[in-house]
Structure 1
Amino acid sequence: MKNEDERVVMEEDDQQKASDLVHELVLRLLSQNPQTPDPDPTSPTFLKTLRYAHRILRSRLTPSVSPDAAAIAESLKRRLATHGKSSDALAFADLYAKFASKTGPGSVNNKWSLLYLLRIVSEDRHKLDSSLLLPNLNAAVSSSLGNKKTNGVLLVSKDPENLRDVAFREYANLIKEENEVTEEILVRDVLYACQGIDGKYVKFNSEIDGYAVVDYINTPRATRTMVRTLSELGWLFKKVKSFISESMDESTAVGTVGQAFCAALQDELSDYYKLLAVLEAQGMNPIPLVSESAGGSSSSYLSLRRLSVWFAEPKVKMRLMAVLVDKCRVLRGGAMAGAIHLHAQHGDPLVHDFMMSLLRCVCSPLFEMVRSWVLEGELEDSFGEFFVVSHPVKVDLLWREGYNLHHGMLPSFISPSLAQRILRTGKSINFLRVCCDDHGWADAASEAAAASGTTTRRGGIGYGETDALEYLVAEAAKRIDKRLLDVLYERYKFKEHCLAIKRYLLLGQGDFVQYLMDIVGPKLSEPANNISSFELAGFLEAAVRASNAQYDDRDVLDRLKVKMMPHGSGDRGWDVFSLEYEARAPLDTVFTESVLSKYLRVFNFLWRLKRVEHALIGIWKTMKPNCITSNSFVKLQSSVKLQLLSALRRCQVLWNEMNHFVLGKETYEIIKHKYI
């Protein structure tokens, strides 16, 4: 511990001695200047010169030659020989050999620097007169400034002799008072502006709607233009950042797609922050002089031109994000995804890859909705973003009116035909689950997912996989539709019910219709007010038992009922009697009230035709015996007989025409194809 304290004290003494020596050197040099024969150590001129001397001694100015001691020694020996000083050259060679061989304590480590100093001193004494040495510093500076205006630019050549000129020019720049800002400060302010923060000299100007250098700073026009160009990134950053802040506000409902869009933008801004952190670290390094760059100085510094290279790619991305923000500010859901998709059609690989990465994040909620709807029948759309919309309706209207497409939310990368298949597949699942109380659709959905190579879990499919989506929808639709048809035809016997409607409502069961007409005819001739529907139901049951209808399924016969139409005081039973077929869930989805009302109209029409046919049959039964007994009319006069036979013939022809007309009406093949 004691040795350490002694070492620190010795170092402080050495530093103080060096400072005193520099002070004495500057004082002596200035005293030799005719303009300042008796310099004052407390004057501003002396203090500036002293600071400049310290700056030179602490500077990193290095020569632009390789540090080779042997080469410097050979150069000095050759110079002495060419000037006719052969003896001096031999003496120098002997001294250098002894100097180079000396090592260990007390020897000079940096031999090359000492030899280089001797060479520079020798050349200066031959090339410069006493008026250009350091005692005449002010005169040399005035001469240099008078001959050539520097405008703050340091002219550094590769020649070692130019180091003195560099020192003179730096000293002149210290003396000259001006308002110019260094490039390091502008770089720092540009980095602040790119984060949406005003710097010391680069601030946001509302008149030009952008960042620019303040007017009271004396900077070249080219520098101002470059600063404004670089600071455009900050203007774009503020727009994107404000959109994210507004969208993620609790009072704003942007939906899941909007949240995914904001998350993707935030990820890009995180990468942007990392880049700015790296650039700020490089901005801490000073911009080297030309001589330092030539001497192999570190290149990890940051200038405005280097900053423009660094900002080339981020500016493209940020400008594209700003365009998307303006485009999607009033959009949401599928409309937002479609608008972003339009900007992905770009030939630039950088833009294309960036948009693909962005869309994979943005469209993930939308594709999750598609997957959930196609494989589970679930509509997870709290913000109204999906192109399938549900409506609260009755069970019998679930298929027709429960779900439909919202074309405004249909993204452009999903075709209308694919959207229709997606809609129908989800509707089928909901129909099976709600109306048919069936759970076998889950196995069909799992088989469809396995066949398409996807999974029933989240994240199974995403943007850019349109072919996989179409294949998944096709497989799901094929299996779900097959399951739906199997349930309708096997469990609910859809085909048997269709045939029952044809036989009973369209009067296709002949024996049943004929027997019903025979037993119910007399009753229907009475006034409608005197007829009881319960009595007619008994006639219906008797007609079923007396015909082949008794062999039908009991569920079918239970659905066949008598219905009395609304009637007035003058109506008879024929005017109000009708049959109806009760359609229960899920068949009421097919045989809706409107469909059954059409069947009722057809039944009433056919029932009236059957009544006419039944009346014609009764007339025929009445006329047949009369035709047989007409042979007894032979005793009548021939004129009377001819008249009677002619009247009977006309009656038979008329009956035949009426019967033909009724039979033609009863051939309802066209009606059957229309209503079945």
Structure 2
Amino acid sequence: MSRSHSREGGSSSATPALVKRLCCRVTKLPENEVQPYLQLAYKLLASSSSLPVDNDEFQVSERIRKQLVRRGREKDAATFAELHRKLQTQGLVKNRWAVLHVLKSISESEARHARDKSTSLLFGQGLPAYATSTPFNAAAQRRLMPGPGSHEHHGGTPSIHSIDTTGSSGISSIHGDIRSNDPTPVPQSFLPGTTFASVDGDKTHRHAAMSRLVGAVSRRDTESSSAVVPRGGRSTVKAQGENTSFEIPETELVRDLVYVFQGIEGKWVHFDPSKDGYKVDAQAGIPKAIRQLVSKLAECGWLFNKVKNYVETRSADKTFGLVGQSFCAALQQELTEYYRLIAVLESQIQDEVDQGIGLATHGSITLRRLVVWTFDPLIRLKTLAALVDVCKGKKGGALASTIYSYMQHGDPFVKSLIKHILTMVSQPIYATLLRWIYDGELEDTHDEFFVAADPTVKNDRLWHDKYSLRKSMIPAYITTDQARRILLTGKSINFLRQVCQDRTPTPGREMAMAFDMSQAEWMFTQDQSNNFQDMIDKVYKETSRHLLDVLHAKYKFMDHLKAMRRYLLLGQGDFIRHLMDLLEEDLAKPASNLYLHNLTGILETAIRGTNAQFDDSDILKRLDVRLLEVSPGDTGWDVFSLDYHVDGPIRTVFTPECMIMYLRVFNFLWRAKRMEYVLALIWKNQIFNSKLLESLPELSRILHQCHILGSEMVHFIQQTQYYISFEVLECSWHELLGKVREAEDLDCVIAAHQVFLDTVITRCLLDEQSRHDDSRGRVTYQGILTQLRTIFDLIIDFQQAQDAFYETAQHELLARQHYAKLQRQRTSEGDWGITEAMEEEERARRVEFLKTVIPSTRAKMAVLAQSYQDMVQQFLVMVTSHQDVSLRFLSFRLDFNEHYKAREPQLYGTPGNMRAKRLT
């Protein structure tokens, strides 16, 4: 209790000192002279009746600012406006209007005290004390200023406040303190013989004494008060030398302009549809300078109408969306602030009418003061009207982008206005973005958000087709990479929930949803802070990592990927070799004679007989046999294929398109593996028959020819198989594994897998460029893939031709062996070994063999060898000029001893051989 009491006592005792310091700071007086103001401050603080009835912070702040401008302290007025704006944004002080009123009252008391002490000095300067004025309270003015009819004398100089100006009118109204001996000419309005039209139409008496006191009125104001047509009549020109002109009272013009500010036509100022603007009545007696001034002031009304019509039209449009409605709300807020200014002006005019104050009095509303008071509102209205023009026909993110383009403005006042509007416009985008990246929910009825959803897409294509970026709606302050990450984050959440059946909440969701909507400013102030980028990166990485963990742990993505490599890309060597041995007899049959269940049984036998049996049962269940479309003349080798069934989330990576690519690669590899298998059989038959047919010297040249052609084919297939197995599959597989391990999201995995397949397809000559015909100059080549398949076909033809030759040779060998055996048998029996008929028959048979079989076989082998070499040469020419570097190096290995180069002149002109030739 004692401590609390001491604190309260200390606070109360410190209050007078703080008030005294405040008075010294405001008045800039020493402590010994500030006592009168200190007493005034105590009165203001102690009595609530001293506060104004209209406790409006806007009005008080505007009075202070305009009062500073009136005293020639424009910089201080700008500083005050900025500090007041910052004070409003902080929200620390609740009764700001009361604090501002106290400071204003102390300042006015100090000003009055200084004015009383130096009236003669002010009059000696000959300048108006108040060049401009903010709207004021008439009763307060009467308390602060001498009323009409009173006189103050300082050094014998009269005050202008003592002059009754209730009958004066026009732009050249007299105000401020006036020096009596100012050389400025007397305005024509105040010369003898001039009459004035009052507000009610009555004419006032002449003011002869006025000519002695208007020296301080400016020459421009004097000229602006030249007479024109009186209200309700036309000008009458009399004899030369007489001043019979009349003018419209300035009070009526001011009242008309207040109406025009609200978009309403006045008595003398009307809207001209042909010129799309307000125009002063041509019959009104108003000088040209005043007409221009009125037209300039009427621009506020035109701009106000433009903005108001846009708000009314778009607010009623239900398809404008949340972003558009936020834009209308921001515009309406600015119009509300503008309404407050209009209300203050109307209140001031009404007070002047009630109190009978004329335009010449100190602080009354004039056209030139309206110019000052509407300076800032005019800038704001111009900015709003420009936004309305450029935002027509736009909504959503496109609307936000258009507004954001005005943020790069050099005027801090305009930039602050745009920032406020953009904050409100961005709030619906920010709210939708939060729900998307944390909940995966997309509520975009009017297609304003930059993420679009297609509800007709099923879950199996959710990742690829359901969600996409609507590029036209991406706000300019959100980069493409950020938009992509936002899309992936929400898409990952939906994929987890709808496909993977995983509803784990996103970390940090509760904190993010509790964010203040004012933080939408983060999006377009990224040059000042990284809050938005950090938030996007954090939720993107956490969501993507969780999705990849689910795919690897729950759905065994890597196991399935390795199964594709082992079985469809022939990586399981023992399994593939054993399967080929088991299928050799069946696949040699016509394709129409194959039965799927027989092939499936052989597949299961191959699995049980190799290391494939140790794989996961789920993977082995997915492995199956598939028969391709049968064409006339196809054998089982042409239509047989392995298949791997995928479903669930992994189907997102192994799409049907990818599986088709796997089948194409498998058929190519299977064909190449078959060539390796066939050449192995060819070599085995050559070794066996070379020893078996040694007794037939006539066949030595054919056997040598078969050995040479077989060696060429073996070399070609071995180099091709090495290229496919190591340079294509193994290198691409290693890159794929590295990318999958480093992937940040599922899109990276899908992209890496697609790059892997594209690389394999291209380097295995299965792409469109390798499949189509290629024309170079006068020579037209078939596609490089067709060329390779022709080589494979020639190997099959060589196998068949060699097998047929070996069969015929073996028959000949058996016949000769039988003849020799018969001869030995007859000799052992004591008979002649052979008879003349037997010898003649044997000789005729051998001659027939030498004349028919050997020449035809040699010719057939020569044709095969020549065709093979021609195909290989053309293949080398095409491969050497291929864009892929690894394929060009394949040509060097295939022709390492330049055997084909010596036969094909075109190989000399290829870039690779030209470089090799220069090196040699």
1:556 counterpart (598, 619, 627): 619
1:253 aligns with 2:297: no
1:192 aligns with 2:259: yes
Cα distance per residue 1:439-460 (max 9 Å; x no partner): 23x33463xx86xxx5466727
1:671 counterpart (697, 714, 728): 728
- SS of the aligned residue for 1:606 comes to helix
Instruction: Specify the structure having the higher radius of gyration (Cα).
Output: 1
In the aligned structure 2, how far is the partner of 1:145 from the partner of 1:547? 119
2:192 counterpart (148, 165, 170): 148
Q: What pairs with 1:273-284 in structure 2 (closer than 5 Å)?
A: 273-284=339-350
- SS of the aligned residue for 1:379 comes to coil
Counterpart for residue 33 of structure 2: none
In the aligned structure 1, how far is the partner of 2:548 from the partner of 2:190? 102
The amino acid that maps onto 1:261 is: F
2:519 counterpart (461, 467, 471): 461
- SS of the aligned residue for 1:357 comes to helix
In the aligned structure 2, how far is the partner of 1:191 from the partner of 1:200? 11
The amino acid that maps onto 2:653 is: V
Q: What pairs with 1:313-462 in structure 2 (closer than 5 Å)?
A: 313-391=376-454, 392-440=456-504, 442-444=505-507, 446=509, 454-455=512-513, 459=517, 461-462=519-520
2:304 counterpart (237, 254, 264): 237
Give the superposition deviation at 1:411: 2.2
Give the superposition deviation at 1:608: 1.8
The question of whether the paired residues in 1 share the 8 Å contact of 2:625 and 2:641 is answered with yes
Counterpart for residue 664 of structure 2: 601
- SS of the aligned residue for 2:519 comes to coil
Counterpart for residue 477 of structure 1: 540
1:302 aligns with 2:374: no
Give the superposition deviation at 1:428: 2.5
The amino acid that maps onto 2:663 is: L
- SS of the aligned residue for 1:562 comes to strand
Give the superposition deviation at 1:471: 1.3
In the aligned structure 2, how far is the partner of 1:159 from the partner of 1:646? 142
The question of whether the paired residues in 1 share the 8 Å contact of 2:194 and 2:244 is answered with no
The question of whether the paired residues in 2 share the 8 Å contact of 1:287 and 1:303 is answered with no
In the aligned structure 1, how far is the partner of 2:618 from the partner of 2:193? 112
TM-score relative to the length of structure 1? 0.69
The question of whether the paired residues in 2 share the 8 Å contact of 1:389 and 1:406 is answered with yes
Give the superposition deviation at 1:147: 7.8
The question of whether the paired residues in 2 share the 8 Å contact of 1:62 and 1:292 is answered with no
Counterpart for residue 715 of structure 2: 660
The question of whether the paired residues in 2 share the 8 Å contact of 1:337 and 1:362 is answered with yes
In the aligned structure 2, how far is the partner of 1:280 from the partner of 1:290? 15
Give the superposition deviation at 1:621: 4.1
In the aligned structure 1, how far is the partner of 2:252 from the partner of 2:189? 26
The amino acid that maps onto 1:404 is: S
Counterpart for residue 651 of structure 2: 588
Gaps of 5+ in 1: 1-59, 72-115, 117-143, 161-172
CA separation of 1:601/1:61 partners in 2, compared to 1, >3 Å: closer, same or farther?
Answer: closer
Give the superposition deviation at 1:266: 0.6
* RMSD, aligned α-carbons: 3.6
The question of whether the paired residues in 2 share the 8 Å contact of 1:244 and 1:262 is answered with yes
CA separation of 1:236/1:278 partners in 2, compared to 1, >3 Å: closer, same or farther?
Answer: same
The question of whether the paired residues in 2 share the 8 Å contact of 1:184 and 1:286 is answered with no
- SS of the aligned residue for 1:443 comes to coil
Counterpart for residue 572 of structure 1: 635
The question of whether the paired residues in 1 share the 8 Å contact of 2:352 and 2:358 is answered with no
Cα distance per residue 1:578-619 (max 9 Å; x no partner): 111112122222212222111111111121222233333334
1:62 counterpart (126, 149, 152): 149
- SS of the aligned residue for 1:578 comes to strand
Counterpart for residue 136 of structure 1: none
Q: What pairs with 1:103-182 in structure 2 (closer than 5 Å)?
A: 148-150=192-194, 152=196, 154=207, 180-182=247-249
- SS of the aligned residue for 1:285 comes to helix
Give the share of equivalent positions with the same residue, in percent: 39
In the aligned structure 1, how far is the partner of 2:481 from the partner of 2:189? 81
Gaps of 5+ in 2: 1-146, 157-161, 163-187, 197-205, 214-229, 231-242, 733-755, 761-920
The amino acid that maps onto 1:589 is: T
- SS of the aligned residue for 1:579 comes to strand
In the aligned structure 1, how far is the partner of 2:479 from the partner of 2:718? 52
The question of whether the paired residues in 1 share the 8 Å contact of 2:191 and 2:211 is answered with no
1:268 counterpart (331, 334, 342): 334
Give the superposition deviation at 1:186: 2.1
The amino acid that maps onto 2:192 is: K
- SS of the aligned residue for 1:586 comes to helix
The question of whether the paired residues in 2 share the 8 Å contact of 1:562 and 1:578 is answered with yes
The question of whether the paired residues in 2 share the 8 Å contact of 1:64 and 1:291 is answered with no
Counterpart for residue 277 of structure 2: 210
The amino acid that maps onto 1:664 is: Q
In the aligned structure 2, how far is the partner of 1:626 from the partner of 1:254? 88
The question of whether the paired residues in 1 share the 8 Å contact of 2:626 and 2:640 is answered with yes
Give the superposition deviation at 1:367: 2.0
The question of whether the paired residues in 1 share the 8 Å contact of 2:191 and 2:208 is answered with no
The question of whether the paired residues in 2 share the 8 Å contact of 1:202 and 1:213 is answered with yes
Give the superposition deviation at 1:218: 2.2
CA separation of 1:159/1:147 partners in 2, compared to 1, >3 Å: closer, same or farther?
Answer: closer
Give the superposition deviation at 1:223: 2.9
The amino acid that maps onto 2:151 is: S
Cα distance per residue 1:546-586 (max 9 Å; x no partner): 11111101111111111111113432222211111112122
CA separation of 1:651/1:155 partners in 2, compared to 1, >3 Å: closer, same or farther?
Answer: farther
Give the superposition deviation at 1:320: 0.9
The question of whether the paired residues in 2 share the 8 Å contact of 1:397 and 1:589 is answered with yes
In the aligned structure 2, how far is the partner of 1:549 from the partner of 1:461? 58
In the aligned structure 2, how far is the partner of 1:560 from the partner of 1:350? 71
Counterpart for residue 31 of structure 1: none
CA separation of 1:665/1:309 partners in 2, compared to 1, >3 Å: closer, same or farther?
Answer: same
TM-score relative to the length of structure 2? 0.51
The amino acid that maps onto 2:383 is: L
Q: What pairs with 1:525-544 in structure 2 (closer than 5 Å)?
A: 525-544=588-607
CA separation of 1:293/1:208 partners in 2, compared to 1, >3 Å: closer, same or farther?
Answer: closer
Give the superposition deviation at 1:326: 0.9
CA separation of 1:298/1:287 partners in 2, compared to 1, >3 Å: closer, same or farther?
Answer: farther
In the aligned structure 1, how far is the partner of 2:189 from the partner of 2:264? 40
The question of whether the paired residues in 1 share the 8 Å contact of 2:450 and 2:472 is answered with yes
2:287 counterpart (213, 216, 220): 220
The question of whether the paired residues in 2 share the 8 Å contact of 1:393 and 1:401 is answered with yes
Give the superposition deviation at 1:545: 1.1
